[in-house]
Structure 1
């Protein structure tokens, strides 16, 4: 494709990415109101986020592998339709159970859109030039993340619209993206007569990951760490993933290419992505909740308060993307980004319900800069090490582990937050001499703060505000793991060619070390 054709197709691809990203950010700031309106609880709040991340995570490597085997454009159009239908269903949900189920289906489309966008771009542009275009991706992600909370807050606070339009608004974007891609995207897909789909591997990976994430969500709350439920779920999940690894090592077309992720550079990049995803998703999901419940701001104001983090992503991803394309080096920018990310999380770990907003904004800006400099460049590191025929599976693997980290982060930090809030509320009520009955007994599990009596409301706000800093301390500790992995990455020059030379690709296959 010529440069003009690439730009035309890129417009549709960026709109697709915008649709996927805005669907998550619109919901994030409106979730307290949505769960309150549907009479949900804190655990259901977490599951509205976790369900889509779980489905997206489990299906990502499958979509990536299918992109290596079938028509990438057709797969992208199928994903758009899945996402659009699920968005409509979410908008019509009548209770939190239905919303969680439809969000899971929406997650299938979200995962497909995010990975297929990267795969299609990788099939059009060489790794060195891809740095600049990845900067555009980062910019779109930032704009979507900034616009999402603002639009979501305005919709949630507009009486004649209501929170359901947080889901309906995605429909016109998806239709426009579908039409644009139908006209502009033209990628030649090699016809293969020996296509083999790893159904067993896909099923085992999805089942193993799902069981472990469900266990992480409920352990310590619905049942104890040392219980038969833990043994059954954690043990069962590990066994299924072990079986999946065995299957992947023997099938001809594995969903997750073990010979790729065993190599030093991809393995370290995946570990860093896992940590970044866990820290970033796990922490940032609860910022909207902190501003609304812990500080008493409305949805629109909460969206505005997250702008510093998105500005950081916007500028750092765009600038670092151009610098990567110019120099051909990724490691310096990844290291710098992870150091800044760690500093931002360390700052957020100190916040409580009285921390000055200006100080919180500085910490969020640092987190945004760190994410913008590291996330897309870690994907680029792996794409640079594999031939074009494996680009989908390799991209799917790194996105899978990053999403897995995000899902685990949301589940673990959500459970930690819920337990800490419940403990803090109980202590606060006891100190205030309020008996743990009636509204007071329900305070820890309700997000409808406005309905609570004034003395209890203040205790709940303080509990949420103070507990949020604790989960960011965990995020900072996780970010350290990503930084250590990045330190050991081998410096490598990004290649100018779209594909690896045939000879190195053949030599690399039998030595997966």
Structure 2
């Protein structure tokens, strides 16, 4: 497709970006709205499944479609992805119970995985890596725009419209994206001599699914299992067995779904490892920023969206700029290391936050974090694509997406355990002081019930509820309970900032691994740089 005119390429890229925006905005709009949706449908015990099933189906679909799109071309798969995502969104809006929502979210997830995998791969079909860099920055910026608009629109819709419109409002964009791809995206002939690796695909799925379930279900809290429980150990054991069988199949099959020879390429391997740790640190830490803003600082959910907006804008701007710089210079290693270092520095700064940290400092720290993420994120998809042969673009890009998804999932699970353990330890440390506050309620059941609001950190996320309970207390007890509330905030702050430190350590590991990233010139139409190692062989 690189022989197409520039005007035709730009038209196709607009179609691809429209499809990506459709998937990305529908992901970010759900986060704020989901608690309200669950309150309408019921089934709070199954809340995590609505998120987990989306993650599972998107991860599996994204990696399986990689090799298939190398064989049959990108067009049928990106159209399938848009169709599945649109159907899943439409049906999700018609859900009457939590189980229907989980099922339809699974369909949405499969569509999202296919869209994301094929979109970045299709960009690789259109442009050589050097020209691809600027488009990679623009495509990364799509996620920045979505992360700004999504939460704001999701909150507005559930506050002022029926919740169904969260799923339906962007369906016209899906229709437009489908038509643009169908009309403008060229067909390519099937690669001869290639076959589908059914058994490899099966055991790759059997490797990914139990591993993601193990990390999603492990930890403390409702619906969770201890890390050492038989359920979690059993899932990890299933993962290991399936992985061994998968490797045996891939070493013998003619057309493997994930060619193991790719990992002989140091650039491919290092880039995927960095992507894993980058996402683990980023997703594992950023997901707890709203907890700090709403729980520790007591800011409303709507205002919390505005507090997080500068970080998204910083990420959007630097991702586009980073792409332009890489296109002009043809270099990427300094960009990768610089972005990762800035990201790590931002997380270290966030570790030193406390309940008394001014909001403007929190915003500055988040902007620094966004700047680092925006610089680093576009680099590693580009380095993977630059290091492999054109006929392996699909499977290489899908593998990159797989490592990032795994990193994000594992990061969220590990950070959740760190936060819970740190908060418990801090509350135990403060238990002596809290014991003094408990005494006035000892003989008064009604007062004890109100007291329970102040002993559960989760209630800090519902500020109006806390304020109403505090106002209903006798005036002479309000100072004591306010003091107790401050201690709970301190414990939550300690737990959350400890996750930021953990995220900084994980991001620091990404920096160390990135030091081993070999820099080869970004290929362009005038350059004949061959991919490194075995991965570059046709």
State the TM-score, normalized to the length of structure 1. Answer: 0.89
Which range moved further: 222-231 or 313-322? 222-231
1:50–1:407 contact (8 Å) kept in structure 2: no
Q: How does 1:409-488 map to 2 (within 5 A)?
A: 409-418=411-420, 430=435, 432-433=437-438, 440=452, 443=456, 450=464, 454-455=469-470, 458=485, 464-488=492-516
Deviation per residue, 1:109-157 (Å, 9 max, x gap): 1111111111111101111100111121122222122111221222132
Number of equivalenced pairs: 506
Name the counterpart of 1:139: 141
CA contact (8 A) 2:17 2:142 kept: yes
Post-superposition Cα deviations, 1:336-395, rounded to whole Å, max 9, x if no partner, equal 000001011112223344422111111211221112111221111111111111000001
Between 453-462 and 214-223, report the one with greater CA deviation. 453-462
- Corresponding residue for 2:518? 490
Contact map agreement 1:388 1:500 (CA 8 A) in 2: no
CA distance 1:271–1:461, change in 2 (3 Å): same
Aligned in 2, Cα 1:423/1:99: closer, same or farther, shift over 3 Å?
Answer: farther
Identify which range, 344-353 or 375-384, moves more after superposition. 344-353
| Helix, strand or coil at the partner of 1:249 | helix
Conservation of the 8 A alpha-carbon contact between 2:300 and 2:463? no
Q: Which has the higher contact order (CA 8 A, sep 6+)?
A: 1
The within-5 A match list for 1:113-512 is: 113-158=115-160, 161-186=161-186, 188-221=187-220, 222-418=224-420, 430=435, 432-433=437-438, 440=452, 443=456, 450=464, 454-455=469-470, 458=485, 464-497=492-525, 508=534
Partner of 2:473: none
- Aligned partner of 2:33 in structure 1 is 30
Shift of 1:465: 4.4
Structure 1 unaligned regions, length at least 5: none
Deviations 1:458-488 (A, max 9, x none): 5766654443222222211111111111111
Cα displacement string for residues 191-237 of structure 1 (whole angstroms, at most 9, x for unaligned residues): 23433112222222222222122222333434433343333222221
In the TM superposition, residue 27 of structure 1 has moved relative to its aligned partner by 1.8
Tell me: CA distance 1:498–1:50, structure 2 relative to 1, closer, same or farther (3 Å). farther
Q: For 1:379, what is the secondary structure of its paired residue?
A: helix
- In structure 1, the partner of 2:12 is 9
Change (3 A) 1:430 1:497: farther
Deviations along 1:85-108, whole A, 9 cap, x unmatched?
Answer: 111233333454543443333221
> Does the 8 Å CA contact 2:206/2:239 hold for their aligned counterparts?
yes
Give the Cα–Cα distance (whole angstroms) in 1 for the partners of residues 133 and 179 of structure 2: 27
Match of 2:22 in 1: 19
